[in-house]
Amino acid sequence: MRTVQRKPFYISASVSCMDLCNLESQIKEVEQSSVSFFHFDVVDGRFNDCFILGQTTLEKMRPVTALPIEVHLAVYEPEKYIESFAKAGADYISVHYEAMQNPLATFDLIRKYGSQPVLAYKCTTEPGDDFISLSREVPMILKLTVNPGFSGQKIQSQAVEHIRKMRRMLNNAGLTADIQADGNINITTIPLVTQAGANVLTGGTSGLFTGKKSISENALDMLRAIKPHIPAS
């Protein structure tokens, strides 16, 4: 299992936003940039109205990159898919709060198959009373800032406020889990999410894979746009 080297701020690359017809060459470009890991979206057509990626793509991708891969299971009944994605090469598996019947058992299942669990929330879901107890089990929180599966959406202000609340709750509990912001993350929105408390930025079509600059240039632009948050008390 590969692990992400923790930094104050870092970037993930959204695989669904890459050129899938030239995936291997794009992977090499990402590896030459300041990106820290890959974010691999899986959508089942029920959790949101589209289908994205699957185990076969992950199996092909795993041997050609040394970077960690986080599989984001935007699916119902995620427990059914954990073993297959872990065996296909997932280093981290993000599972949705909204889709789990027993989060602690799901986290244990992920660890059983050699991956690390990540706790994910939809853009509309506010952290509840169990947020801290669940956060103690994971190295990272994934907070969607748009609906999963469709590029081109605008960041939702309520999701930014949820990030702010999450970071405040983590700080008050003495926890240092990463918060990854995913959706419409670019040089304009990065100050919003980092000031709120996110420290991991998912690079997609509006930030990392714009087609206007190289991936390396875009990654540097994203890092330059960061404005660190003031720790909440």
Angle at alpha carbon of residue 119, lines to 116 and 121, rounded to 5°: 150
79 residue type, one letter: E
pLDDT of residue 95: 98
Query: In the predicted model, is pLDDT for residue 6 greater than 90?
Result: no
What is the predicted pLDDT for the residue at 222? 95
Give the model confidence (pLDDT) of 173-221 as tens digits.
999 999 999 989 999 999 999 999 999 999 998 899 988 899 999 999 9
From the list 164, 175, 168, the residue with the least C-alpha distance to 134 is 175
H or E element: which one contains 141? strand 140-144
When pLDDT is cut at 50, 70 and 90, the band that residue 227 belongs to is: confident
Q: Is 108 a catalytic residue?
A: no
Q: Domain-by-domain residue ranges, the chain?
A: 10-225
Side-chain half-sphere of 180: how many Cα atoms within 13 Å?
A: 29
Name the phi and psi angles at 182, rounded to 5.
-130, 110
Catalytic residue among 41, 44, 91, 178: 41
Which amino acid is it at 29? Answer: E
The DSSP-derived string for 148-212 is: TT-TTPPPPHHHHHHHHHHHHHHHHTT---EEEEESS-STTTHHHHHHHT--EEEE-TTTT--SS
User: With pLDDT > 70 as the criterion, what percentage of the chain qualifies?
Assistant: 93
CA distance linking residue 33 with residue 137, whole number of Å:
30
- pLDDT band for position 152 (cuts 50, 70, 90): low
**Angle, alpha carbons 105-163-209 (nearest 5°):** 95
Looking at residue 128, its pLDDT comes to 95
| Mean per-residue pLDDT over the chain, rounded | 92
The pLDDT-based confidence of 48 (bands split at 50, 70, 90) is confident
**Which of the residues 108, 178, 182, 221 is marked catalytic?**
182
Q: Which CATH superfamily is domain 10-225 in?
A: Aldolase class I (3.20.20.70)
**pTM given for the model:** 0.92
Cα separation, 151 vs 141, in Å, equals 21
Q: Tokens 């690359």 belong to which residue?
A: 13
